[in-house]
Structure 1
Amino acid sequence: MIAVMMAALMSSLTSIFNSSSTLFTMDIWRRLRPRAGERELLLVGRLVIVVLIGVSVAWIPILQDSNSGQLFIYMQSVTSSLAPPVTAIFVLGIFWRRANEQGAFWGLMVGLAVGATRLVLEFLHPAPPCGDPDTRPSILGSIHYLHFAVALFVLSGVVVVAGSLMTPPPRGIQIENLTWWTLAQDVPVGAKAGDGRIPQKHTFWARVCGFHAILLMCVNIFFYAYFA
């Protein structure tokens, strides 16, 4: 059991370090130095990971005061405050053709603002020791962070839907091959996507993979709701 927990923690930490390093290297450093070579980008990425590890070590005292020092619960709490808006936009962007850029932007901004507010409140009002009265705000004391994640997901989805309906819909060329309903396969050689001459032939195996993805998502939601 200890090995399983350590593997889960290491997997989460390495994915966070790798993603953060990639974002900084490709989106920030390449803008500052457009002619940077692969060797330089690799070196910068490694240095960013070293800096992140240093910041993580310096964050340990704050972690010890949050969630009774339980690292896994702390990580899940942070994820529940930041991940639901991104998940809502991803799901609606795939399964709803009417979703557009404006709706996704405002859904992400509202969701992240609400999630960051709860996250700041958790830092300012840590959970009391067992047996002590809970004097934290009601959003912390009466709403579990997993239940808050569900509410934040719904809120972000509502904002995305409202923002998309109040703005012009995306054009067909903008969502071609990007949603569940606009998959186009077997494109002829030399043809360009979105030129209107390509038949919308849906591949059987693409549908099978999509069905399995939906099935796995339903299983995850079931376990999430059951154990929450």
Structure 2
Amino acid sequence: LSSTIVGIWYWCTDQVIVQRVLTAKNIKEGRRGSIFGAFLKLMPVFLFLIPGVIALVLKQRGQLEWDDPDQAFPSLMMSILPAGLRGLVAAGLMAALMSSLASVFNSCSTLFTVDIYKKIRPESTEKTLVRVGRIATTVVVLLGIAWVPIIAKLAGGSLYNYLQNVQSYIAPPITAVFLLGIFSSRINANGALVTLFSGLAIAAVRLVLEVFKESLAPGSLLFNIADMNFLKFSSFFFLYCVAATILVSLFTAAPVKAKLAGLTFGTISAEDKAGNRASYTWVDIVASLFIVAIVIFIMIYFS
């Protein structure tokens, strides 16, 4: 369940992904690009696992020495690959890292400049917006550098485990609001805001408890919360977010239906439905079902 929650958050709402899909010429190309991207995304499952398995086997045979899991791939690369190929792999990794960071920085800059600053100061010129975007990017970089010591405290210092932990805390509130928002016309802004802000607070508390877990009394409530597996915590967290969104929405005024036109499944016009049906064929359906089947198989096989 947790991997599905994180997957919906990342692939359906994360600005880094959404900004790429929005560059498509039309819905048909955007959909097929997403389907093709899903096929490509299946490859890292094996690309990540195979080098790790090789490194573990070589270590057990005494042919490779590494103490930290994060050292497995660099040690493998230095031990097996020749000098020229090592440089090529390192350059490829750096290029991929720079591309990912550029996407993140661009997304953060766009979100702050367009969604926050421009609404506060709508009269701002393009030159001012560009300058604000650069400042926002610089702040994000500095915050990222300042956050590095925290990584060593979380998930045993493993970068991959840290990423999985943090994503499992960020995703539930956004996924709950997103799914309920597009499937129900009764969910309102009050329910979404309460869920997002309370979810942010709960995620922050969980991170703080993880950092200071060693100083907590074993068996206490706070220790048990900090010690709970992050996937299990994410599942319960998601259920809370769903309940909070629904309850707050039901106890507050319903949104004006005229403002929901085209935003939920229940308010899509007949014209939009017809255009959507015309934008895909049986090939898209079969490809999507095939990907879903592979994902379900992997989840069941490795569970």
Give yes or no for TM over 0.5. yes
Write the distance in 1 (CA, Å) between the matches of 2:209 and 2:183: 34
The aligned counterpart of 1:18 is: 106
The aligned counterpart of 2:246 is: 161
Write the distance in 1 (CA, Å) between the matches of 2:224 and 2:214: 13
Q: Which amino acid aligns with 1:95?
A: F
Q: Answer whether contact 1:66 1:126 (CA < 8 A) is retained.
A: no
The correspondence for 1:86, drawn from 167, 174, 177, is: 174
Write the distance in 2 (CA, Å) between the matches of 1:9 and 1:78: 19
Work out whether 1:204 is the aligned partner of 2:290: no
Shift of 1:87: 0.6
Q: 1:11 to 1:217 in 2, by over 3 A?
A: farther
Range moving further from structure 2, 96-105 or 202-211? 202-211
Q: Which amino acid aligns with 1:204?
A: R
Q: Which amino acid aligns with 2:202?
A: V
The correspondence for 1:140, drawn from 214, 217, 226, is: 226
Range moving further from structure 2, 56-65 or 92-101? 56-65
Secondary structure of the 1:181 match is helix
Shift of 1:175: 1.6
Work out whether 1:51 is the aligned partner of 2:136: no
Write the distance in 1 (CA, Å) between the matches of 2:122 and 2:141: 27
Write the distance in 2 (CA, Å) between the matches of 1:137 and 1:208: 52
The aligned counterpart of 1:151 is: 236
Shift of 1:111: 2.3
Write the distance in 1 (CA, Å) between the matches of 2:202 and 2:293: 26
Write the distance in 2 (CA, Å) between the matches of 1:5 and 1:73: 19
Q: 1:188-203 to 2 correspondence within 5 Å?
A: 203=276
Write the distance in 1 (CA, Å) between the matches of 2:230 and 2:300: 12
Write the distance in 1 (CA, Å) between the matches of 2:292 and 2:242: 17
Q: 1:60 to 1:225 in 2, by over 3 A?
A: farther
Q: 1:134 to 1:6 in 2, by over 3 A?
A: farther
The correspondence for 1:29, drawn from 90, 108, 117, is: 117
Q: Which amino acid aligns with 1:83?
A: A
The correspondence for 2:190, drawn from 89, 95, 102, is: 102
The aligned counterpart of 2:259 is: 174
Shift of 1:178: 0.6
Greater helix proportion: 2
Cα deviation, 1:147-182, whole Å, max 9, x if unaligned, reads 211111111001111122222322321221011121
The aligned counterpart of 2:17 is: none
TM-score after normalising by structure 1: 0.70
Instruction: Point out where structure 1 has 5 or more consecutive residues left out of the alignment.
Output: 128-132, 188-199
Cα deviation, 1:74-129, whole Å, max 9, x if unaligned, reads 122112112210110100011122212222222223322222211221222269xx
Q: 1:225 to 1:80 in 2, by over 3 A?
A: farther
Write the distance in 2 (CA, Å) between the matches of 1:134 and 1:11: 44
Shift of 1:139: 1.4
Work out whether 1:115 is the aligned partner of 2:188: no
Work out whether 1:68 is the aligned partner of 2:156: yes
| Number of residue pairs aligned between Structure 1 and Structure 2 | 210
Write the distance in 2 (CA, Å) between the matches of 1:222 and 1:112: 33
Q: Answer whether contact 1:97 1:181 (CA < 8 A) is retained.
A: yes
- Report % sequence identity: 37
Write the distance in 1 (CA, Å) between the matches of 2:155 and 2:266: 43
Secondary structure of the 1:59 match is helix
Q: Answer whether contact 1:82 1:112 (CA < 8 A) is retained.
A: yes
Q: Which amino acid aligns with 1:42?
A: V
Q: 1:114 to 1:60 in 2, by over 3 A?
A: closer
Instruction: Point out where structure 2 has 5 or more consecutive residues left out of the alignment.
Output: 1-46, 48-72, 74-88
The aligned counterpart of 2:24 is: none
